[in-house]
Every structure is written in C-alpha cells, then in structure tokens.
Amino acid sequence: DAGVIQSPRHEVTEMGQEVTLRCKPISGHNSLFWYRQTMMRGLELLIYFNNNVPIDDSGMPEDRFSAKMPNASFSTLKIQPSEPRDSAVYFCASSPPGREETQYFGPGTRLTVL
Amino acid sequence: KQEVTQIPAALSVPEGENLVLNCSFTDSAIYNLQWFRQDPGKGLTSLLLIQSSQREQTSGRLNASLDKSSGRSTLYIAASQPGDSATYLCAVNGNQFYFGTGTSLTVIP
C-alpha cells in the first residue's frame, strides 16, 4: 500500500497567488482530513470529509480556503489568494470506514508564501 | 473550546532511561485520546489510541494512561532508545480532533 499521497511536497509562491494542494487517500478509506501545522498553533484540523461529503469545515480559517473531494480517491485544498501567514505544513490523512479515529497521515506539503 | 496542553515542550534524556510525557485537556467530554509520533519532515504516526472508557493502552515499550475526570493523559516510554527521538503529540477526539503542540524528545546515545 502506498499510503496517503500528497503533492507537491514543497511549494513556494508569492502573496496573492493561488495555491492548490492535492491528496490521494488510501484505497478503501472513506474519511479524509486536512490539517495545518504551524509552530505557534500546532496541528489544527481544517476540514473533514466522509464519503466525499464535507462533514465539518469549522476549522477552515476563512473564505480564501476551499476544499473539494470530487471522488473517493482525490481531494484538493485551495488557497486563493495566498498570504504569508498561510505558510505552514499541510497534512492530509485518511481513515477506514467506521474508524475515523485511526488516521493515516501523508508526508505533508510545506507551503511558503513570500 | 477544547484546549490541549503538553508538558514539557522539549525533553532530553540519556539512552536507557524511562520517561513520561504529559498531556492535559480542558473538556472531559471526549470519545478517545490518541498519541502520535512525528519525525522531521514526515507525517504523524499513530502510537496508541485510548477510548474514553479505557484507563490505559500498551504497545511494546509504550504505555498510555487516561484519566478523563482530571483531564490528563501520560505516555510512558520504557528503556528509551535513540530511535525514540521525535516529537510526540497527543490529540483528543470530541466533536473534532484537538491536538497539543507536542513534546520534542531527544534520546542521547
């Protein structure tokens, strides 16, 4: 099993640009989570999908952030326009049916907004 | 809102020593608590999951306890090894996951 796949691994962009982060969950998993990790705030849950439907997006910081899951094998997290304070490591995680507490994390995408 | 605190923020111990990492949370209405390990440049690896009805879980040299009424959990690592060096995070699962900021552990050979 390849595990959770995230791309890109590193992204450097300029303020105001659109950024799209991608995630492929583990096959057969039906829950997908997006997290953001910063030194100041630690690891925070941004949004949680179950069966491709957003269940809880209360952690999404503002309207500049949006997430989609068009099918069971792909999700995107988009930031438009990006700001320097969005610089962080973004993690995607997936979990199997009925086991949302058992999350398998991807390697993360390190985003730097200049 | 749930607040999760981990103390200490950093810990350095000689190889072979037993150690305890602490996690406290403010809202005892949780479904479970989970300990993760994070290595530099990598994602999180789940170590132990304790359901709210359980008091402890063990896996190898790791033992995690949960006292829900007092809002505390500990992760005990026995006979520490240099390979245990990593950041350890606890996360409580109530209406959503809340993570602590982690304890950075260094085990000195």
A6-32 pLDDT tens trace: 999 999 999 999 999 999 999 999 999
| pLDDT band, very low/low/confident/very high, at B71 (cuts 50, 70, 90) | very high
Average pLDDT of span A58-69: 91
| pLDDT band, very low/low/confident/very high, at A101 (cuts 50, 70, 90) | low
Shortest Cα–Cα distance, A112 to chain B (Å): 15
Q: Among A39-43, A65-69, B66-70, whose mean pLDDT is lowest?
A: A39-43
Put simply, the answer to whether A107 touches B97 (Cβ < 8 Å) is: no
Q: Go through chain A and tell me how many residues it has.
A: 114
| pLDDT band, very low/low/confident/very high, at B42 (cuts 50, 70, 90) | low
Say if B46 is an interface residue toward chain A (CB within 8 Å).
yes
Average pLDDT of span A55-63: 85
Best-predicted range by mean pLDDT (A47-51, B5-9, B77-81): B77-81
Higher pLDDT, B71 or A59: B71
| pLDDT band, very low/low/confident/very high, at B84 (cuts 50, 70, 90) | very high
The reported pLDDT for the residue numbered A114 is 97
Distance CA B104, CA A42 (A): 12
The reported pLDDT for the residue numbered B43 is 67
Strand order in the sheet with B56-59: B4-7, B19-25, B72-77, B62-67, B56-59
> Would strands B56-59 and B44-51 be described as parallel, antiparallel, or unpaired?
unpaired
**Average of per-residue pLDDT values in chain A:** 91
Assess contact for B17 and B109: CB atoms under 8 A: no
Distance CA B15, CA A110 (A): 32
Average pLDDT of span A50-67: 90
Higher pLDDT, A101 or B24: B24
The reported pLDDT for the residue numbered B41 is 61
The reported pLDDT for the residue numbered B95 is 66
Put simply, the answer to whether A42 touches B89 (Cβ < 8 Å) is: yes
| pLDDT band, very low/low/confident/very high, at A58 (cuts 50, 70, 90) | confident
Higher pLDDT, A30 or A37: A30
Chain A interface residues facing chain B, Cβ-Cβ under 8 Å? 4, 33, 41-45, 48, 56, 58-59, 91, 93, 101-108
Rounded-to-5 percentages of helix, strand, coil across chain A: 5, 55, 45
Biggest CA pair distance of chain B:
41
